[in-house]
Structure 1
Amino acid sequence: MSCRLEIFSLFAVLILNLVKADVCKDTKPDFSAPGQRISEQKCREYNWERKRLEKCSKDADSFEFPYVGAVGYKDEENKDWVFACGTFLISERYTVTAAHCSRRRPEIGKFPEIVRFGNKNIVDEVKRLDVKIRSVIVHPQYKAPIKNFDIALIQLESEVPFSRSIYPVCLWSKNLDSFKFASNPAWGVEGKEYKIRKEIAVMNVQILDHDSCVEATKPWITRLFRELSLHQICGDEQKSTVINCQGSGGSPLITKGSLDDSDEDQIPYAYGISSFGRGCGNMTIYTRISSFIDWIEETVWPKTAPADAIHFVE
């Protein structure tokens, strides 16, 4: 009896390996579809690639947030990297970050030079990938130090090799949404103690509707923040057990959704970009991705955006 069970088990393993081999040899489908945005097509393509990597990759390493990267500035005095902003991968050559992350860091006098991927730990000597920055493309309507239009694209010097620990996130491109909660994975300093983190932490935020956000930010009004724009989102973080503070700018606001409007196979979507706040543990303003989806598509995947693309919301 035991001999038969062993034979059956070996046969089952053989069948599973054959099925896996067939899946791993599959040719990538054509994800283009009439009337569909290029970012939506790429979302389906990258989701297919993710599933293939999970089944077929020999790389055992994985990372809960494989799209999140840290923006590095070289400190020539002590030869260390200073990670003062976050970013997130959206294609083989581009990441999204906040426009204010493109500036020279006054404490070291340097512009950003690398993006570090592939591990929740960005400080210790662990397996990870550093990719040089070729250029930072700031949104043309961003005028520092004004807080509006705080979005930029980082063009990398070389393509990022996708793996189980590094692959892109989908972009939320719809103007209409009803999200109540979202998450913000980031490094930076830890809450009000201003302790530098070496590992990523996730802050859970409550999304306020626009009218509530306008009311909540009235005390913030200055010449640098004159009014809340429709391309900005309020994330209330007062109930979060984790607080992301300085150094988390440019990191993503993440929600979950389905490719086919079903409850199955929920995948992460980048919904916003961490822009600025007033103190730690209060509220953060995020730049809304969907308000800039035209500009992102035209820059990252040129000449492919559909004619009926959504324009900036202001």
Structure 2
Amino acid sequence: MVTMLILILLPVAFLLPPGAGAGEIIGGQEAQPHSRPYMAYLTIRRKDQSFHCGGFLVSENFVLTAAHCNGDNITVCLGAHNIKQREQSQQKISVCRQILHPKYNRQTHNNDIMLLQLEHKAELNEQVMLIRLPPAHRRVKPGTVCSVAGWGRTSALSEVLPDTLREVDLKVLDDEACPNYPGATYPKYKTRMMMCVGDPKEHKASFQGDSGGPLVCGKRAQGVVSWGPVNGSPPRVYARVSTFIPWIRRTMRRLQP
């Protein structure tokens, strides 16, 4: 009976609640201030709720993030390290258009990627820069060590949110690691559009609402934090950016002023 109950609950345990709070980094450390000038901190209003996500600057007037970070109103903060202080480096820009991938599915997490068009161009400088995207359909080799960053809780057991950007190094796993992970299943994992990231032997991971932040491999944004176990344990799932390069390029060209 207990075994049957566990099997019933396991799929539920791997879903991230819509609108989860921003940037939980488990097992990491504070980032060097402004060492990741492409990072964006999103403040999102959805009906009567307010929450946060991560994102990253890919053009002077476009931020890439996760589709499940959509809302009624979004403000982007660029050039931030301490989000509780009014740093001179910070640029706060309203989002004028949210472009979710046309095939995004909230239930399956398929195509969990979104472009945000800013009301005006960001001013690029040492604290605010673009990050490069990968070539279309070129995959990251398993075993590659990448990194992810965000603002938020440092433990699944604590609700205390640090003020400063935190980061952690993570290993990219084989495409079959998530579907075949022992003791649990990732029934919604799709190899073509998702990446399996984080060594289960290490207590290091992104978490709820680091959502939208970039998985950076070799100075390119290869993944977007998407979903994973609600207890924060690795491996976790990222949207595979290289799959969406044609859509990203086409959409930005169409909307560029």
Q: Give the TM-score taking structure 1 as reference length.
A: 0.64
Match of 2:113 among 141, 151, 160: 151
Match of 1:65 among 36, 45, 49: 36
Aligned: 1:287 with 2:251? no
Match of 2:223 among 266, 272, 275: 272
Q: In 1, are the aligned partners of 2:198 and 2:204 still within 8 Å (CA)?
A: no
Identity %: 25
**How far apart are 1:184 and its partner, in Å?**
0.4
Aligned: 1:215 with 2:169? no
Q: In 2, are the aligned partners of 1:85 and 1:188 still within 8 Å (CA)?
A: no
**How far apart are 1:238 and its partner, in Å?**
4.5
**How far apart are 1:76 and its partner, in Å?**
11
Q: In 2, are the aligned partners of 1:204 and 1:240 still within 8 Å (CA)?
A: no
Q: Distance in 2 between matches of 1:291 and 1:212?
A: 19
**How far apart are 1:132 and its partner, in Å?**
0.5
**CA shift in 2, pair 1:303/1:91, >3 Å:** closer
**How far apart are 1:163 and its partner, in Å?**
0.7
Q: SS in structure 2 opposite 1:161? A: coil
Q: Which is higher, the Rg of structure 1 or of structure 2?
A: 1
Q: In 2, are the aligned partners of 1:249 and 1:275 still within 8 Å (CA)?
A: yes
Name the structure 1 match of 2:70: 102
**CA shift in 2, pair 1:219/1:241, >3 Å:** closer
Q: Distance in 2 between matches of 1:196 and 1:95?
A: 24
**How far apart are 1:75 and its partner, in Å?**
9.7
Q: In 2, are the aligned partners of 1:68 and 1:251 still within 8 Å (CA)?
A: yes
What are structure 1's unaligned runs of at least 5 residues?
1-61, 104-110, 257-267, 305-314
Q: Distance in 2 between matches of 1:245 and 1:204?
A: 14
**How far apart are 1:169 and its partner, in Å?**
0.2
Amino acid of the residue matched to residue 67 of structure 1?
Answer: Y
**How far apart are 1:123 and its partner, in Å?**
1.6
Structure with greater helix percent: 1
**How far apart are 1:204 and its partner, in Å?**
1.3
Higher RCO (Cα < 8 Å, 6 or more apart): 2
What are structure 2's unaligned runs of at least 5 residues?
1-32
Q: Distance in 2 between matches of 1:115 and 1:295?
A: 22
Q: SS in structure 1 opposite 2:184? A: helix
Matches within 5 A, 1:226-265: 227-238=189-200, 243-256=205-218
**CA shift in 2, pair 1:144/1:212, >3 Å:** closer
Q: In 2, are the aligned partners of 1:201 and 1:244 still within 8 Å (CA)?
A: no
Match of 2:124 among 121, 145, 162: 162
**CA shift in 2, pair 1:94/1:247, >3 Å:** same
**How far apart are 1:85 and its partner, in Å?**
0.5
How many residues align? The count is: 219
**How far apart are 1:69 and its partner, in Å?**
0.3
Matches within 5 A, 1:81-92: 84-92=52-60
Q: Distance in 2 between matches of 1:176 and 1:284?
A: 17
Deviation track 1:71-104 (CA, whole Å, cap 9, x = no partner) reads: 1135999xxx95510000000110100000004x
RMSD across aligned positions (CA): 2.6
Q: Distance in 1 between matches of 2:109 and 2:253?
A: 27
Name the structure 2 match of 1:261: none
**CA shift in 2, pair 1:76/1:154, >3 Å:** closer
Q: Distance in 2 between matches of 1:67 and 1:171?
A: 12
Amino acid of the residue matched to residue 130 of structure 1?
Answer: K
Q: Give runs of ≥4 in structure 1 deviating > 6 Å.
A: none
Match of 2:166 among 197, 201, 204: 201
